[in-house]
Amino acid sequence: MRVLGIETSCDETGIAIYDDQTGLLSHELYSQVKLHADYGGVVPELASRDHVRKIIPLIQKALQDADSRPEDIDGVAYTQGPGLVGALLVGSSVGRSLAFAWNKPAIGVHHMEGHLLAPMLDEPAPTFPFVALLVSGGHSMMVKVSGIGRYEMLGESLDDAAGEAFDKTAKLLGLDYPGGPLLAKLATKGDPKRFRFPRPMTDRPGLDFSFSGLKTFAANTIREHGLEEQTKADIARAFEDAVVDTLCIKCRRALEETGLDRLVIAGGVSANQTLREQLEKLMQKRGGKVFYPRPEFCTDNGAMIAYAGLKRLQAGERAGMDAKARPRWPLEELTPV
């Protein structure tokens, strides 16, 4: 089966074609970072309009790169939610329309399920069951994954997601948008011993997250010590260390509670090199293994949507004739495959 995947949940237009026999055939991604940089964050209306401009040319390019014609496509998968409603409507409308015009089945994909399954795009792929840490600009959650659609929420963020906290703290440090990667780069120059930030919600049981307090702690540290260049680097290092340590502590707890020895990290923050290194050390000590997508599949992309959609289409699931968008969509509502 060959599936066209369409991702438009936020500020990246991702298109891909995935074949269950030969793997990923094409992968196109357009980022709106420059469009939103002047505003310091994503402007939903501008995001939707830019998806409208880019989506058809990217689909045409993906088909060309995959040496495929519409008649070669066996199904169309599009992100149905969660995300920005206007952006979602662009992808779902185009995806459903193409499926109708080509007389092919369509399926709406849960954005976070796409991230959960993104490590399956490469070898070696994790086998079920495993614990998954999903960390991005909009979500921080710990999930026990027993199979596709078989998800148990173990913990989630009570306020800012990890990626959101990175971006907000980067803004306090005077870094450009998106600030997360720039903060991580600055942290490499920081003194790890100068400042120590708290590890939120690690002094009590449970697997929930809270990162808004770290942003406040950073703001107070900046107010007290200023923004001299080395101080900025030292604060960035302290902030990154606090987030990484917190995520590692929660992962260890989740593995202990579930008795599993396989860990998947996915989402934009999973590209953070310090986080990867620390989780590698954690899993080596435990005699387990950690899996994560290659960097281009950590952020939003069409490949993960094509793969997740293929699995559900193979199981016989089909979307209706409407093109609904679900800006809020609990992961637990998904049906097992």
- Binding site for Fe cation: residue ranges? 111, 115, 300
pLDDT given at position 137: 81
CA distance 36 to 12: 11
> By the 8 A CB rule, do 255 and 207 touch?
no
Report angle CA 111, 210, 182 to the nearest 5 degrees: 70
- Binding site: residue ranges? 111, 115, 134-138, 167, 180, 272, 300
Describe the crossing of helices 273-286 and 229-258 by its angle, rounded to 10 degrees: 30
pLDDT given at position 163: 92
pTM reported for the whole predicted model: 0.95
pLDDT given at position 27: 97
Query: 45 CB contacts (<8 Å, ≥6 apart)?
Result: 86
CA distance 108 to 51: 17
pLDDT of residue 207 exceeding 80: yes
Residue 322's pLDDT band, with cuts at 50, 70 and 90, is: confident
Residue 324's pLDDT band, with cuts at 50, 70 and 90, is: confident
Average pLDDT value over all residues in the chain = 96
Whether a cis peptide bond, with omega within 30° of 0, leads into 178 is yes
- Domains with residue ranges and CATH for the chain: 2-117+297-333 (3.30.420.40), 128-292 (3.30.420.40)
pLDDT-wise least confident of 69-78, 316-325, 328-337: 316-325
CA distance 118 to 298: 8
Residue 61's φ and ψ, nearest 5 degrees, are -65, -40
- Binding site for substrate: residue ranges? 134-138, 167, 180, 272
* Bigger pLDDT: 295 vs 154: 154
For residue 232, give both structure tokens.
């900025």
pLDDT given at position 138: 82
Residue 28's pLDDT band, with cuts at 50, 70 and 90, is: very high
CA distance 245 to 5: 35
SS3 per-residue string spanning the chain: CEEEEEECCCCEEEEEEEECCCEEEEEEEEECHHHHHCCCCCCHHHHHHHHHHHHHHHHHHHHHHCCCCHHHCCEEEEEEECCCHHHHHHHHHHHHHHHHHHCCCEEEEEHHHHHHHHHHHCCCCCCCCEEEEEECCCCEEEEEEEECCEEEEEEEECCCCHHHHHHHHHHHCCCCCCHHHHHHHHHCCCCCCCCCCCCCCCCCCCCCECCHHHHHHHHHHHHHHCCCHHHHHHHHHHHHHHHHHHHHHHHHHHHHHHCCCEEEEECHHHHCHHHHHHHHHHHHHHCCEEECCCHHHCCCCHHHHHHHHHHHHHCCCCCCCCCCCCCCCCHHHCCCC
Query: How far from the centroid of its chain's Cα atoms is residue 116's Cα?
Result: 8
CA distance 47 to 12: 8
